[in-house]
Amino acid sequence: MARYYVLLGPPGAGKGTQAKIIADKYELVHVSSGDLFRDNLKRQTELGKLAQTYMSKGELVPDDVTIAMIRERLSRPDCQNGALLDGFPRTPAQADALAAMLKEFDGQVNLVPYISVPENLLIERLCGRWTCRSNGHVFHEKYNPPQIAGVCDLDGSELYQRDDDKSETVMNRIKVYAAQTSPLIEYYRKQKLLAEIDGTKSIEDVTIDMLAALENA
């Protein structure tokens, strides 16, 4: 039977790293809503074009468009074992829509791992990121510093800080995430589907806790 997991966690919690590990171990497709939007826009699909009409006006893409993209992705053959959803749902209304959709695939949300990290640590993680201009290699001034400050170890190009990684932007992203996601966290907690994972631990220990939660689901 197909299994579906919804991965929650603020920016800087390490969701991308854990998503790859989980997807590989359980042979699940990692369905990232951000990647899905970019793919539909790039391929100029009907849904992509529809989303673009809202985005070009600075408006939020309506739920029904986002849900249609998710539905189309989950209906592909590579999702027959299930999927790991990341970035969707974002609200209880979207979570209701997802539950209804998964019934059509004879499935349900089996678990919602939530990687919890305090705000001060998120800021430290995100604001320390530096990216190389040539190939996008990422370094961190504390956790993965370059051998020479400001220079990429791999190709010698300049390292710069993306606008997304500057402190003011980072703090705003964290606040927006918390405001948007807290109702969703409560939604899944009430359904006894939430598994809170301590994201302050090492990557390896977070993985151990994550896999233990999934095995017990």
User: Catalytic residue numbers?
Assistant: 15, 90, 129, 162, 173
Give the Å distances, CA to CA, from 10 to 13, 20, 27, 47: 6, 17, 24, 27
CA angle 114, 29, 100 (to 5 degrees): 70
Distinct helix (H) and strand (E) counts, the chain: 8, 8
Cβ neighbourhood burial of 105 (10 Å; 0-12, 13-18, 19+): middle
